Amino acid sequence: MNSEKEGQDEYVRLPLPRRNQGELFAIADQVMGGSRIKVVCEDGKSRMARIPGRMKRRYRIRTGDLVIIKPWPIQNEKADIVFRYTHIQATNLSKRKLLPETIDVF
């Protein structure tokens, strides 16, 4: 029974943007300080993203990281960061053709 799984690569489930809630892929462009980062989104817009406290204490977000953001409903040029991918995770998403071509730099 396990012989079927031995030949396959190990599959790790990664969170993807929930489109029905307005989440998007983005790349961290410039660290501004004060837990704010300028990001370039998959829709071509540049937004100011805020790192929430629960992420600030766990993850270090650097320039060039792939993140999931959720734009604010009132001010569309601002957003919250929901998730950060490691470089290996971002490369795997790129190989599986899950990233939009506008931000696929991995």
Give domain status of residue 91, yes or no. Answer: yes
2 pLDDT higher than 80: no
- Residue 76 belongs to domain with CATH number: 2.40.50.140
Give domain status of residue 49, yes or no. Answer: yes
Residue 80 has a pLDDT of 94
Output phi, psi for 47, to 5 deg.
-125, 155
Give domain status of residue 6, yes or no. Answer: no
Domain tally, the chain: 1
What's the CA gap between 101 and 95, in Å, rounded?
Answer: 12
Give domain status of residue 19, yes or no. Answer: yes
Give domain status of residue 1, yes or no. Answer: no
Residue-wise pLDDT for 3-19, tens only, equals: 444 434 555 688 999 99
What's the CA gap between 50 and 69, in Å, rounded?
Answer: 9
Residue-wise pLDDT for 50-84, tens only, equals: 998 888 888 889 999 999 999 999 998 999 999 99
Query: What integer is the mean pLDDT of 89-103?
Result: 90
Give domain status of residue 102, yes or no. Answer: no
- Give the burial string for 47-61 (b: 16+ CB within 10 Å, else e): bebbbeeebeeeeeb
Give domain status of residue 25, yes or no. Answer: yes
CA-nearest of 81, 83, 105 to 94 is 105
Give domain status of residue 47, yes or no. Answer: yes
Q: Do residues 32 and 38 touch, judged by C-beta distance below 8 A?
A: yes
Residue 11 has a pLDDT of 59
Q: Residue 47 is part of which domain span? A: 15-95
